[in-house]
Homo-oligomer: A and B are copies of this chain.
Amino acid sequence: MAKLKQLGFDSVRVEPFEMQTWMRGEESAELISPFPQPLEITSLGGSVATPEQGLEGELVPFASLAELRAAAPGSLDGKIAYVGHAMQRTQDGSSYGFYGELRRVGASVAAGKGAIAVLIRSIGTDSHRFPHTGQMNYQDDMPRIPAAALSNPDADQIERVASRGQPMQLRLKMMPEVVGTTESGNVIAEIRGRENPEEVVIIGGHLDSWDLGTGAIDDGAGVAITTAAAKLILDAGKRPRRTIRLILWGAEEVGLLGGRAYLERHRDALEQQLIGSESDFGAERVWQLTAQVSEQAQPVVDLIGELLAPIGVARGDMDKPGGGPDLIPMVEAGMPTLRLVQNGTDYFDLHHTHDDTLDKIEAAALDQNVAAFAVFAWLAADSNVNFRQ
């Protein structure tokens, strides 16, 4: 708030909402047999704790979520499931949705087979000894069992032991807790439009980050990129027709809580939310432009595409909804989006780990992102076409 006011934006404010807050506690795991081996694990967000003395059980390996799903009910009674997968790097990050399902649903699937805990290979592409955290969920009709991620090198080790057919015994201790209801909020700043200030173009990133790292790439970068883009426009001294609304979202990581709160609060002004784009995919360069807008708005998107081509941005699908996770609730309510797709080849090396730190960010790549967002925000806000229909 202080920074945004100092930068000179209009209508700087917080739109608060309440959330249930989960906090990581002490956590550790070790292979007990066939040989002792400390393992690098971390609790998945939202996991229940183990008993205070920890728990022990046979570790039963599965190559994938599909293989776990195929296990017989009761076959994991009293045991701990280990689940691997084969996530690979992709430029557009599209493998995250597919492989990430293991993180989101793995605990309840394992519990359905009788497991007392689940340990997954990290949803990440690096080969460093950092486990990747991230939110998980429980099905209401299944026992809630502790769920943790294992670093990829440790997962390799588990799979090597498993490939020799050696039975494995694991000790696991995790002491996370739900600390209760706390206040979060979306921090909002605007460049008020000169003709139709009630009409809004949304840009932004999210303020929250996972506790293990410092949140430099997820999503300090997005906050910085979109704030800098808005500041460029502000400093140009010319106001667009419509309002540019910079939203620094709260509580994205734990279930898009800021995005949902925004939809609830602005339900009566949905038609005025013309188009949005969020920066939430790290700090690498934008390489592609995708959008889903009305026929009459297509020329604006074309112009954005022309202006961004010289800085390395190619045209992608023009019927693709989705301008970033915090906009999902608004997209479901009908808001058009444009996405400036960053190169995510290395994103899942750092995402949700201790290693999400500022040294990973290249300033020149941020500049390219700022330029792209400035072009989008200005042209969308200064146009008079309706992006919605």
A interface, CB within 8 angstroms of B: 37, 40, 127-130, 152-154, 156-157, 160, 213-214, 353-355, 357-360
Give the distance in Å from the alpha carbon of A153 to the alpha carbon of B153 in the complex: 21
User: Which residues on B sit within 8 Å (CB–CB) of A160?
Assistant: 358
Give the distance in Å from the alpha carbon of A169 to the alpha carbon of B340 in the complex: 41
A357 contacts B153, C-beta separation under 8 Å: yes
Give the distance in Å from the alpha carbon of A358 to the alpha carbon of B156 in the complex: 9
User: Which residues on B sit within 8 Å (CB–CB) of A152?
Assistant: 359
A357 contacts B129, C-beta separation under 8 Å: yes
B357 contacts A157, C-beta separation under 8 Å: yes
User: Which residues on B sit within 8 Å (CB–CB) of A128?
Assistant: 128, 130, 355
A359 contacts B130, C-beta separation under 8 Å: no
Nearest-neighbor residue (CB-CB) of A37 within chain B: B214
Q: List 21 A-B contacts (CB under 8 A).
A: A40-B354, A127-B359, A127-B360, A128-B130, A128-B355, A129-B130, A129-B353, A129-B354, A129-B355, A129-B357, A152-B359, A153-B355, A153-B357, A153-B358, A153-B359, A154-B357, A156-B358, A157-B214, A157-B357, A157-B358, A160-B358
Smallest CB separation, A216 vs chain B (Å):
9
Nearest-neighbor residue (CB-CB) of A357 within chain B: B153
User: Which residues on B sit within 8 Å (CB–CB) of A154?
Assistant: 357
Give the distance in Å from the alpha carbon of A205 to the alpha carbon of B389 in the complex: 72
The 6 closest A-B pairs by CB, nearest first: A153-B357, A129-B354, A153-B359, A127-B359, A129-B355, A156-B359
Nearest-neighbor residue (CB-CB) of A155 within chain B: B359
Nearest-neighbor residue (CB-CB) of A40 within chain B: B354
Nearest-neighbor residue (CB-CB) of A349 within chain B: B128
User: Which residues on B sit within 8 Å (CB–CB) of A130?
Assistant: 128-129
Give the distance in Å from the alpha carbon of A160 to the alpha carbon of B361 in the complex: 15
A129-B213, A129-B353, A129-B354 given. 14 additional CB < 8 A pairs?
A37-B214, A40-B354, A127-B359, A127-B360, A128-B128, A128-B130, A128-B355, A129-B130, A129-B357, A153-B357, A154-B357, A156-B357, A157-B357, A157-B358
User: Which residues on B sit within 8 Å (CB–CB) of A153?
Assistant: 355, 357-359
User: Which residues on B sit within 8 Å (CB–CB) of A214?
Assistant: 37, 157
Smallest CB separation, A164 vs chain B (Å):
14
Give the distance in Å from the alpha carbon of A129 to the alpha carbon of B157 in the complex: 21
User: Which residues on B sit within 8 Å (CB–CB) of A213?
Assistant: 129
Smallest CB separation, A206 vs chain B (Å):
20
Smallest CB separation, A330 vs chain B (Å):
33
Smallest CB separation, A115 vs chain B (Å):
27
Give the distance in Å from the alpha carbon of A154 to the alpha carbon of B354 in the complex: 11
Nearest-neighbor residue (CB-CB) of A153 within chain B: B357
Give the distance in Å from the alpha carbon of A354 to the alpha carbon of B353 in the complex: 14
Give the distance in Å from the alpha carbon of A360 to the alpha carbon of B152 in the complex: 12
Nearest-neighbor residue (CB-CB) of A360 within chain B: B127
Give the distance in Å from the alpha carbon of A152 to the alpha carbon of B359 in the complex: 9
User: Which residues on B sit within 8 Å (CB–CB) of A357?
Assistant: 129, 153-154, 156-157
Give the distance in Å from the alpha carbon of A320 to the alpha carbon of B37 in the complex: 40
Give the distance in Å from the alpha carbon of A357 to the alpha carbon of B154 in the complex: 8
Give the distance in Å from the alpha carbon of A37 to the alpha carbon of B216 in the complex: 13
Smallest CB separation, A141 vs chain B (Å):
38
Give the distance in Å from the alpha carbon of A359 to the alpha carbon of B159 in the complex: 12
Give the distance in Å from the alpha carbon of A299 to the alpha carbon of B68 in the complex: 63
Smallest CB separation, A121 vs chain B (Å):
12
User: Which residues on B sit within 8 Å (CB–CB) of A353?
Assistant: 129
